[in-house]
Amino acid sequence: MNEEDKLPEKYKYIRSIGKEYFQELDELQEFINRERNQVVELTETLQDETRFSMYEHNLELFKEFLRKPWVTSPVSEGVYDVFVPKFIKFNLGFYQYSTDTYNVFRVNRLASFFGEIPKDLENQFKFREKFPFRIFDGMLLTGEHQDEAWNRYSKHLSRREGSDRIRIKRGHEFNLHGKLLDDGILPYLAQPVAKELLREPEVNFVLRDYQKEAKQIFLEKGAIGVYWVMGAGKTYLALDAIASIKGSKLVIVPSSILVSQWRNRLKEHTSVAHEVNVVTYQLLTHATSRTAEAFKKKEYSLVVYDESHALPAFTYEKLAGLKTLHRIGLSATPFREDGNSWKIIALTGYPVGMNWEDLFAIGVVKKPDIVLYLCKTFQDKKKKLAELLLIPLKTIVFCDEIALGKRLSKEFEYPFVHGETNPKDRIDIITSSEVCFVSRVADQGLSLDIARVIEIDFFAGSRRQSVQRVGRGMHSSGKTEIQTGIHIIIMTFDEFDSHHKRIDVLEQKGLRVSIVAI
């Protein structure tokens, strides 16, 4: 009998655990050594392949760079551009543009509503002190900071009432919203949905966990803006809210094709379609429309602003004043080229959103395969389109220019849906056609089972249109939970040189674009 056999059982157990522990330590040490060797090899490779030398005394600077890999540049008071190397996964504020090696983001106090700003970076910004001001029932609620509020916003205020509130001038509430948001202050006072207004929703779908969290925020705040990636279920969250709230509801959309889609969704998935009117932004702002006036005079329990990035347009922003107890804004692209992105929040409600990468990671939506074909001439673009259409897939082909769309539709013998197409027929034509040419009327919100999207013509360098069109292949009609689409862009080299920011914004969103030169 050896010495180990003589040991009591409990000591044998401890010794066996010890052996396993030290074995794991050895394996961990081997892993650390391998990782360290890879870093050394990478450093040596960088030194060999570039003009830059990595002297030993510069390694500390390299570590500091990895800790703070950004450069900031002031644009105006309270507004900064942040430059971040492309190889670093980093999203901040509002994406602006890319160079060959850097992504550039624009940051103001509003950026904190869309994601956390690293503390080291936030300390570099000279933002004004943020106060807990709130707007409620025509009053600015100031708490103990009434003097500060009066000094900052007196242009929009009429008189002090008590020591903790100030009356807002008639007609100035919207502008005051904007000023507060510019200062990084979210002015919405939580107005929970009253229990007596709620009922158990009768819907034929189940909300995912992140949708349930968003619904809870809505019930607590009463007004939210939802900014998930296309295909993540913004519409279904709104349908559930519509079914959960009693009373008359209104859904406002930017196009007739979405009117049909919303009406179909309401009938298919809820039992309350009779309680809901679905209209376009254009109809409600038609000055001579009696129907528009009737809708605007009515009081609602809930208004849903679909594609709410359209709401800050000069002709539409007055619709934020509709008489409603609660509101929901929906947009996958909450930014505007005119600099009024803050109004999207000001006109809808408390911002709710998740980083695109977070939703990709949990499998809510899958990244589409994106291929960019670069051609010498427009004739080469047409040849490539013809070649692609030989592969039988459910496809929509985007063509911005109406005359060009009609010509291609005739040449390829597929229908073309555009502004002159009867609104009642648009969605039926698209769904019934294996291939359909579409103008920008199909840019936003279209939710169908589409296997392939092709862009042959587009609106210059519009980043929002670029993201929205990729989203058409990330949507589904509801019959499939997760949709993977193929997205193909056909450009000439000249178009790419002029409008490459359409591609930059996709890469900034974490999407990989494969480029093929023909």
Question: Which tens digit of pLDDT belongs to each residue from 462-516?
Answer: 878 888 888 777 654 444 343 457 899 999 999 999 998 888 888 777 788 999 9
Instruction: Output the pLDDT for position 235.
Output: 93
Instruction: Output the pLDDT for position 217.
Output: 94
Instruction: Output the pLDDT for position 445.
Output: 64
Same domain, 339 and 201: yes
Same domain, 347 and 221: yes
Instruction: Output the pLDDT for position 93.
Output: 72
Question: Does residue 190 form part of some domain?
Answer: no
Q: Distance between CA atoms of 476 and 487, rounded to whole angstroms?
A: 14
DSSP 49: H
* Crossing angle of helices 234-244 and 256-269, rounded to 10°: 60
Same domain, 237 and 316: yes
Structure tokens of 122? 């936030």
Question: Does residue 149 form part of some domain?
Answer: yes
* Domain of residue 459, CATH code: 3.40.50.300
pLDDT beneath 70, residues of the chain: 1-26, 28, 31-33, 35-37, 39-59, 110, 112-116, 287-289, 339, 354-357, 445-446, 474-484
- What is the pTM (predicted TM-score) of this model? 0.70
Instruction: Output the pLDDT for position 342.
Output: 73
Same domain, 266 and 344: yes
Same domain, 343 and 228: yes
Structure tokens of 489? 């862009």
Expressed as residue numbers, the domain containing 115 is 68-122
Same domain, 322 and 415: no
Same domain, 146 and 41: no
Same domain, 206 and 354: yes
Instruction: Output the pLDDT for position 288.
Output: 66
Q: Distance between CA atoms of 434 and 392, rounded to whole angstroms?
A: 8
Q: Distance between CA atoms of 341 and 59, rounded to whole angstroms?
A: 41
Q: Count Cβ atoms within 10 A of the Cβ of residue 135 and give its class: 0-12 exposed, 13-18 middle, 19 or more buried.
A: middle
Question: Does residue 47 form part of some domain?
Answer: yes
Instruction: Output the pLDDT for position 496.
Output: 93
Same domain, 419 and 505: yes
Question: Does residue 283 form part of some domain?
Answer: yes
Same domain, 221 and 347: yes
Q: Distance between CA atoms of 60 and 228, rounded to whole angstroms?
A: 39
Last residue of a domain, one of 359, 379, 409: 359
H or E stretch covering 371? strand 369-375
Pairing of strands 395-398, 452-455: parallel
Instruction: Output the pLDDT for position 478.
Output: 41
Instruction: Output the pLDDT for position 355.
Output: 62
Instruction: Output the pLDDT for position 481.
Output: 41
Same domain, 203 and 316: yes
Pairing of strands 435-438, 102-107: unpaired
Same domain, 153 and 203: no
Question: Does residue 189 form part of some domain?
Answer: no
Burial 230-244 (b: 16+ CB within 10 A, else e): bbbbbbbbbbbbbbb
Question: Does residue 215 form part of some domain?
Answer: yes
Q: How many residues does the chain have?
A: 518
